[in-house]
Structure 1
Amino acid sequence: MTKLLQGVLAGSRRRGLFLRVRLPKNQAIWYTDGQWGAISIDIKELIRCRLGGQHLLTQRASNAEIAADLCGAQAQILRNALFTLQSRTGSSDVSGLLKTWTLRGTLHLIPESDLPLYVHQQGAAEDVCGTPWYAWMTKCGCALPPEREKAFARLIVQEIASGNDTREGLRQACQAAGMTADEEKMVFHGWGGVIGELSPLGVICAQVQEKKAYRLCAPFAPMDAAEAELTLARRYFTHYGPASLRDAAYFFRVPQTKVKAWLKQLDAREISVDGRMYYATKDAPEGEMPHVRLLSGFDPMLLGYRKEDNPILPPEHLRGVFNLTGIVHPTALADGRIVARWREKDGKVELMPFENIGVRTKKRIEREVEKWFEVKEIRWMEI
């Protein structure tokens, strides 16, 4: 299409030539003074492109591929991460995945082969006192002395290697080695502790299961930090795009100046939506906008963008989805707009609409629920 139009316009060099060329799928491209400008799309097409980039229009990839494309699936609540993947593949296979702290200092499911993207240099138990967690505990005045911290780190690694891999088993081993009650509060702190120090070093990782258990990470080659960052940025603008500078800065927790530097290296295309500039590194995906999709708790369609700017999230529903304790609830997306929350346990599903959504939309949501769960009961409730 672009080559054809360039040929038509090649002979026209008048200053001030200004054309708007309509393209398929609610897109347009501007041609001004011999230059092709940003592609222009509407909000509906922006949402469709994001759904397609995040594998919510078609199911062709494995869970490991999805986890790679989306820069991990946030996993402090494991069932949410598993549904993030399953809702995009139809599969519950977790082979090749591990759970560890990555982006934004939170737990994610990632492919084990991607570990060098997040841990650029594999460490050892002796390195725990150089981690951000230990620095934070030192600043708070509650860190263990370095040699004591290292001793427990060595013991934990040894126990995991010998097969004693559960959190409770590791706690008992440390108690048998003389860990006091006060030391236990630090070594097994709920926000990380020594396990939270060993994981970002690439020494251990959590197993992908509800019961807290760990394993050793396989040795891996180091990766240059700048190269790793650019690789993740490329994945972001490929699968989360079109996304804005503010969206990417929010997702990676970096300044917008860093995002601009990445974009220069990525050869990203500019996309205009209602006068605001977005960026993507691939063509618009195939597939029609679905009437209804269930999104997981902490779904990438919500975490991938600045929440105040996310077109699928009406401002009046924001606190019903992102609560003040840091939870991001599972939601139902209807025609590109979040209209309800949901939760499921043992086949019993509760649906909580944010607004009057009508009988047809309710039926579509119920059919979507039945697609993913062995439903015993569906109840519509007030929030």
Structure 2
Amino acid sequence: MTPALLRHRLQRQGIATPVADSVAATVRHLAAMQAQDYAASLFAIGLRTSGATLATVEAAIARGEIVRTWPMRGTLHWLAREDVRWMVALMAPRVQAANAARIARDHGLDEHTLARCRRAIEAALSHGRPVMRGDLYAQLDAIGVDSGGQRGLQVLGWMAHEGLICQGPREGRQPTFVWLDAWIPAAATLSREEALHRLALRYLQGHAPASAADLAWWSGLTQKDAKLALESASSSLLRETHAGDVLWHAAALPAARAARSIHLLPAFDEYLIGYRDRSPVVADEQLRRVIGINGLVNPTVIVDGRVVGTWKRDADARGHVRIAPFRPLAEKERLGIGKAAARLARFLGAPAPVAS
């Protein structure tokens, strides 16, 4: 992928310049944002939102403007409130179909047992207030479904894939859950064709340029469905062939403000996770240093659209940012990393850190 296409992707992603002035608008622009690492995901939203702080993002969560749930790939994502129902309805059934036999075999969660769990969870949540995960596990234990051995989490994940529950605001470090009908307003049901059409437009709005294979990976849908989605929206899209692959573009971007070229991206950021093909942004010989064999995706240092190292922030009060570069860094690049570290500190409301 050429430098120009990478710059376009950075702009689409809201990394080069913030994409919105509100948390909900940022998440809506990206359609869905990876959220399995909670703290990292808050910064992913914040760095794309003008003037956002940790408190800004957490307030949007508390108001239910953005929602953390399992819409696709069996993985937690942030969605704008109005997108939860149609995205879960479109993409979650494929995850359920792939996992039904496994959770019945490994966890004893057959249809009859899940029906009992469903009734218990509804009784605990239908009042509309957030309930801590541990309290829901206690409800399962009370009906004779042992929540240990990951069984409780499997139940809650299944209920979320059914569109019955989602996560609510955290209480301290602990997640809570809410009954979806009591937390999110009702919405018109989309046909599958309408949902695929919308998905293509929304994915490219925040991720273009991208291929059908990228959309299939990101959504967890089949290649056939991804191609169908893109073709259904093709009258609103542009396409070009690059290195033998068809890349799709959404409508033209608005004129950008002065763009930054050096960034500290959090773990599991959409810039890496949102595409099947990571080779445009990270060299093959460095990929294992970015994405471990356990699937964990490290925080990355981005210069001109490509990964040049990883980073981590010390847990102490000073919040020292430590860089592990893949190559020698120029003085200008180190200065840019320092500015990116200062942006992280402002988001966290922490003292300005030192990057090294």
Normalised TM-score (structure 2): 0.82
1:194 and 2:155 are equivalent in the alignment: yes
Residues 222-264 of structure 1 show CA distances to partners (whole Å, capped at 9, x for unaligned) of 2222211221111122321111233223222344343332232
Q: Is the 8 A contact 1:75 1:81 kept in 2?
A: yes
Partner of 2:138: 172
Partner of 1:378: 354
Q: Give the number of equivalent residue pairs.
A: 326
Equivalent AA in structure 1 for residue 156 of structure 2:
I
Q: Deviation at 1:71?
A: 2.2
- Give the match's secondary structure for 1:120: helix
- Match for 1:307 among 268, 277, 291? 277
Partner of 1:204: 165
Partner of 1:99: 68
1:320 and 2:284 are equivalent in the alignment: no
Instruction: Give the fraction of aligned pairs with identical amino acids, expressed as a percent.
Output: 26
Partner of 2:190: 223
Normalised TM-score (structure 1): 0.76
Q: Is the 8 A contact 1:84 1:295 kept in 2?
A: yes
Equivalent AA in structure 1 for residue 263 of structure 2:
R
Residues 256-290 of structure 1 show CA distances to partners (whole Å, capped at 9, x for unaligned) of 34333223221221224456431112125533552
Superposed, 1:45-194 pairs within 5 Å as 45-61=4-20, 62-89=22-49, 90-91=51-52, 92-93=56-57, 94=60, 95=63, 96-120=65-89, 133-138=99-104, 140=105, 142-144=107-109, 146-162=111-127, 163=129, 165-175=131-141, 177-179=142-144, 181=146, 184-185=148-149, 187-188=151-152, 192-194=153-155
Q: Distance in 2 between matches of 1:321 and 1:231?
A: 32
Equivalent AA in structure 1 for residue 123 of structure 2:
Q
Q: Distance in 2 between matches of 1:270 and 1:148?
A: 48
- Give the match's secondary structure for 2:310: strand
1:362 and 2:334 are equivalent in the alignment: yes
Q: Is the 8 A contact 2:8 2:208 kept in 1?
A: yes
**Closer, same or farther in 2 for the Cα pair 1:158/1:55, shift >3 Å?**
same
Q: Is the 8 A contact 1:133 1:196 kept in 2?
A: no
Q: Distance in 2 between matches of 1:254 and 1:60?
A: 27
Equivalent AA in structure 1 for residue 8 of structure 2:
C
Q: Is the 8 A contact 1:100 1:108 kept in 2?
A: yes
Partner of 2:220: 253
Q: Is the 8 A contact 2:7 2:304 kept in 1?
A: no
Equivalent AA in structure 2 for residue 63 of structure 1:
V
Partner of 2:265: 295
Partner of 1:7: none
Q: Distance in 1 between matches of 2:232 and 2:285?
A: 38
**Closer, same or farther in 2 for the Cα pair 1:171/1:252, shift >3 Å?**
closer
- Give the match's secondary structure for 1:262: helix
Q: Distance in 1 between matches of 2:266 and 2:180?
A: 28
Query: Which runs of no fewer than 5 residues in structure 2 stay unpaired?
Result: 91-95
Equivalent AA in structure 2 for residue 217 of structure 1:
L
Q: Deviation at 1:132?
A: 5.6
- Give the match's secondary structure for 1:199: helix
Partner of 1:16: none
Query: Which runs of no fewer than 5 residues in structure 1 stay unpaired?
Result: 1-41, 122-129
- Give the match's secondary structure for 1:378: coil
Q: Distance in 2 between matches of 1:180 and 1:249?
A: 35
Q: Deviation at 1:370?
A: 0.9
**Closer, same or farther in 2 for the Cα pair 1:292/1:131, shift >3 Å?**
same
Q: Is the 8 A contact 1:53 1:285 kept in 2?
A: no
State the Cα RMSD in Å.
Answer: 2.7
**Closer, same or farther in 2 for the Cα pair 1:276/1:198, shift >3 Å?**
closer
**Closer, same or farther in 2 for the Cα pair 1:203/1:106, shift >3 Å?**
same
Equivalent AA in structure 2 for residue 80 of structure 1:
A
Q: Is the 8 A contact 1:48 1:289 kept in 2?
A: no
Q: Deviation at 1:324?
A: 1.0
Q: Distance in 2 between matches of 1:306 and 1:193?
A: 26
Q: Distance in 2 between matches of 1:145 and 1:113?
A: 31
- Give the match's secondary structure for 2:120: helix
- Give the match's secondary structure for 1:99: strand
